[in-house]
């Protein structure tokens, strides 16, 4: 077995070595890192709520009311009023019977999927599903089948084959509404039709659509009027909501099953109640006229940089790791923080710049970035 140093050298040779680089400022649209002021196009703070004064006030109020931590798991003594109130708010907003909160989106995926299926069941994943969904699927012990990205014909053939062999299995299709590295949308209406046709369930990750797409920012399912036909709607508070944490909106029975089976929920200390208290304020802002105005600003930024693109995640695919790293370094020298994304986050040979737009970006910064990206076209 190679020593750690050998493995690190191998990563460096292939352009895959990562390291932590500290910001010397808060993580807003303008940041300071290693003595350099940069426009931040690396964060997922799509509405700019991470710095919103109402969220700061709500967080402080939550600490005053409920303290800094929950002190125990939800099933022991860590289930406080803000946790339950937030779950009720999410269920109402997502048009579901119930919802359950987790410490992160990753915990929501890796806890929920193994709780929902087992070794006699089948999970059918889009090839570009996020790592948390892949890991949750692997932990479940279920049979995993993968269909090419957004290929509904292949999905339909897979479901037909699965049902022919395992008529009694629980089958769940797993996909994202906005894909985190490409920023494209899934063909949700056709996926819903396919899963209904074959008696399957649908697990939809709305992490990058929540707050951004649909009426009141409630996601692609709401935009298409399909919320009532989707069995599991997952999302996070770590993107447009400006905080952290994850949730799963579902029926009351599914929620009760998760409470009893989801290991990342059962065996984790509950998220701070002050965080849940602040998340309620964030959800209220997202669904308000303020949220509508921020989404309008965000759409204007998207149109300025990439007309016709459906989300604030805009990739520039360069192929080789060295090309992506060089482009990111060049942009940093020009005053822009834009990350180089490489395998295993994206498939080999598709290394890219991943640009994340926010309503908080001044138009002049977006225009300047567009000019800086021109040589890559």
C-alpha dihedral, 284 to 289 to 294 to 300, nearest 10°: 150
CA dihedral 81, 83, 88, 94 (to 10 degrees): 160
Catalytic residues: 44, 130, 176, 180, 205, 208, 239
DSSP letters for 137-179: HHHH-SEEEEE-TT-HHHHHHHHHHHHHH-TTS-EEEEEESB-
What pairing do the DSSP bridges indicate for beta strands 351-356 and 313-319? antiparallel
DSSP secondary structure string for all residues of 92-145? HHHT-SEEEEESSHHHHHHHHHHHH--TTSEEEEETT--HHHHHHHHHH-SEEE
Check if the beta carbon of residue 269 is closer than 8 Å to that of residue 70: yes
d(CA 178, CA 355): 14
Q: For 12-70, give the DSSP string.
A: HHTT--------SS-SSSEEEETTEEEEE-S---TTSGGG-HHHHHHHHHHHHHH-S--
Buried b (16+ CB within 10 A) or exposed e, 254-290: bbebbeeebebbbebebbbbbbbbbbbbbbebbbeee
Instruction: Give me the numbers of helices (H) and strands (E) for the chain, helices first please.
Output: 14, 13
Do residues 268 and 103 make contact, with C-beta atoms less than 8 angstroms apart? Answer: yes
């Amino acid at each position: 077995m190679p020593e750690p140093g050998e493995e690190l050298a191998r990563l460096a040779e292939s352009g895959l070595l990562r390291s932590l680089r500290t910001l010397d400022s808060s993580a807003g649209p303008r940041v300071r890192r290693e003595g350099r002021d940069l426009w931040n196009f690396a964060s997922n703070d799509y509405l700019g709520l991470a710095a919103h004064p109402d969220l700061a006030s709500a967080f402080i109020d939550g600490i005053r009311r409920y303290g800094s931590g929950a002190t125990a798991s939800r099933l022991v003594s860590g289930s406080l009023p803000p946790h339950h109130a937030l779950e009720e708010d999410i269920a109402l907003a997502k048009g579901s019977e119930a919802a359950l909160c987790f410490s992160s989106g990753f915990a929501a995926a890796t806890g929920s999927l193994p709780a929902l299926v087992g070794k006699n069941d089948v999970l059918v994943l889009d090839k570009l599903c996020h790592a948390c969904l892949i890991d949750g699927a692997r932990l479940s012990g279920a049979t995993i089948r993968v269909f090419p990205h957004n290929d509904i014909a292949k999905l339909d053939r897979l479901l037909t084959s699965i049902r022919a062999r395992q008529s009694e299995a629980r089958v769940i299709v797993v996909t994202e509404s906005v894909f985190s590295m490409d920023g494209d949308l899934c063909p949700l209406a056709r996926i819903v039709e396919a899963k209904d046709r074959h008696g399957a369930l649908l697990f939809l990750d709305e992490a990058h659509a929540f707050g951004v797409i649909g009426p009141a920012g409630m996601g692609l399912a709401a935009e298409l009027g399909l919320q009532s036909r989707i069995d599991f709607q997952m999302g996070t508070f770590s993107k447009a909501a400006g905080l952290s944490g994850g949730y799963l909106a579902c029926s009351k029975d599914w929620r009760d099953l998760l409470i009893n089976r989801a290991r990342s929920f059962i065996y984790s200390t509950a998220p701070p109640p002050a965080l849940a208290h602040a998340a309620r304020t964030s959800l209220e802002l997202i669904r308000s006229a303020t949220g509508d105005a921020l989404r309008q600003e965000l759409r204007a930024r998207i149109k300025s940089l990439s007309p016709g693109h459906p989300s604030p995640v805009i990739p520039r695919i360069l192929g080789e790791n060295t090309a992506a790293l060089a482009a990111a370094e060049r942009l940093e020298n020009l005053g822009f923080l834009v990350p180089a994304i490489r395998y295993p986050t994206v498939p080999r040979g598709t290394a890219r710049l991943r640009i994340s737009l926010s309503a908080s970006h001044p138009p002049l910064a977006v225009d300047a970035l567009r000019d800086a990206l021109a040589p890559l076209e």
